[in-house]
Amino acid sequence: MAGIAGPCSSGVLFRAREAGGSINGASMAQFDGLRQVESMHMPVNGNKSNGFAFTSAPKCRTIKAMASPTVSAPKREKDPKKRTVITGMGLVSVFGSDIDTFYNNLLEGESGITLIDRFDASNFSVRFAGQIRDFSSKGYIDGKNDRRLDDCWRYGIVAGKKALEDANLGPQVLETMDRTRIGVIVGTGMGGLTAFSAGVESLIQKGYKKISPFFIPYSITNMGSALLAIDTGLMGPNYSISTACATANYCFYAAANHIRRGEADIMVVGGTEAAVMPTGVGGFIACRALSQRNDEPHRASRPWDKDRDGFVMGEGAGVLVMESLESALNRGAPIIAEYLGGAVTCDAHHMTDPRSDGLGVSSCITKSLEDAGVSPEEVNYVNAHATSTLAGDLAEFSAIKKVFKDTSEIKINGTKSMIGHGLGAAGGLEAIATIKAINTGWLHPTINQDNLEPAVTIDTVPNVKKQHEVNVAISNSFGFGGHNSVVVFSPFSP
């Protein structure tokens, strides 16, 4: 939902009611990003834009939309050709590229947020992020290509190949399979941002003849899926999705539907992002959505805490191997968890603001449960989008409360409190965290919970991990433009 994500719905823009302005829209408070600076008069009948940062949000239109009443108990998919299981996982993260190391750091409440040293950020108003260090693609990308590639594609290729390895689908095994039945959907919110910035810089400083021939190929957002397929020979459905910070969940949803429709047996799916560079950081500073806690970077990302002041940028890649149950059983694949269903919706409201009625998010959660054949009472864990923005955190929480009437058994947590906001990769990394919670029976904490918002009445696993047997879990991702996405996972049960 716009306004729920960090960059993707940062809560940068507030409605008149939220800002203390008059209810009829005659006036609204003006915000310098997350901080109110003055009030400005707005014509009652005028909705003219004052620029990106101060565009007023139109009133939520009354939309007749509600969840279909559940007449009988929901039924989960039984057909092994359509049931979708997770058989492999791969990632690149601020905690490295090993799944167990990644999750153990999360369980211990370690923060991966540090001062930026990839470029000189000393003159930037925000000088910290979840920056990846000591990344190596050795064994996954040959040296020549590795030097040319944007980090966005390096992260995605390594995470994708690691996921294939985890699923016992190494190069020798793939050679024996029908690769027209194996597809790739690895999306990104920003694409090859470093490649794009370098191309523009060459154009301005040296002229068009000095632009690299790789400028366009390594900038466009479909290249993550394309390069992974070229390297592995996977000839099934292949494209990318770019829905800002909802990207990876959209990819999971699309991939599962390819399997359900019989168009593929296996899909390699997730998100990748590498925006911790001058253009990326500078651009989000311009949106005025980032935390400015430069003196305490590790304490900056604090979902649901009263003292939160914006999100923290992150980066990386998270990829799953999704496979029909029939295919997984036939080849004796390790089954890690089951994907039960998902949903995508749009707020149809504003570029960055959330709907005040929360309909976009609550309907997305409800539709995901319907698709999964799950009742709300079965869900006992929510990996929340929780970006640490003023408006977004509470808007998401309100939507969760609308769907789940009894939250006494539910726990929610915010992975971004430790790794920052991975933008298009966020849903991929958080899906892995969700599945590890299912596998281990331990939920990672939401760190920096020092002064919890009184309205947040569900257990957020504050500061210390908790043991919790997950029955059904949902993972939320929302993005600029009002893109909402929810996916549903559970332990695998034959």
The H helix count followed by the E strand count for the chain is: 14, 15
Q: Which of 421, 444, 468, 483 is catalytic?
A: 421
Q: Look at the alpha carbons of 405, 407, 410, 413 in this order and tell me if their dihedral is positive or negative.
A: positive
Residue 241 phi, psi dihedral angles, 5° rounding: -120, 140
Q: Is 350 a catalytic residue?
A: no
Bridge partner list, 379: 472
Query: What one-letter code names the amino acid at 317?
Result: A
Residue 113 phi, psi dihedral angles, 5° rounding: -90, 125
Q: Is 385 a catalytic residue?
A: yes
Query: What one-letter code names the amino acid at 124?
Result: F
Provide the token pair at 106: 């999360």
Q: Is 295 helix (H, G, I), strand (E, B) or coil?
A: coil
Contacts of 23 (CB under 8 A, 6+ apart): 16, 17
User: Rounded to an integer, what distance in angstroms lies between the CA atom of residue 91 and that of residue 107?
Assistant: 17
User: Rounded to an integer, what distance in angstroms lies between the CA atom of residue 26 and that of residue 40?
Assistant: 9
Residue 143 phi, psi dihedral angles, 5° rounding: -55, -40
Helix, strand, coil % in the chain, rounded to nearest 5: 35, 20, 45
User: Rounded to an integer, what distance in angstroms lies between the CA atom of residue 409 and that of residue 9?
Assistant: 28
User: Rounded to an integer, what distance in angstroms lies between the CA atom of residue 101 and that of residue 112?
Assistant: 13
Q: Is 152 a catalytic residue?
A: no
Q: For every residue of 142-182, which 3-state class applies, written as one string?
A: CHHHHHHCCHHHHHHHHHHHHHHHHCCCCHHHHHCCCHHHE
Query: What one-letter code names the amino acid at 433?
Result: A
User: Rounded to an integer, what distance in angstroms lies between the CA atom of residue 371 and that of residue 27?
Assistant: 42
Q: Which of 152, 245, 251, 287 is catalytic?
A: 245
Q: Which of 349, 350, 385, 444 is catalytic?
A: 385
Q: What does 298-333 look like in DSSP terms, one character per residue? A: GGS--TTBTT---B-BB-EEEEEEEEEHHHHHHTT-
Query: What one-letter code names the amino acid at 454?
Result: P
User: Rounded to an integer, what distance in angstroms lies between the CA atom of residue 440 and that of residue 444?
Assistant: 11
> Hey, which residues are catalytic here?
245, 385, 421
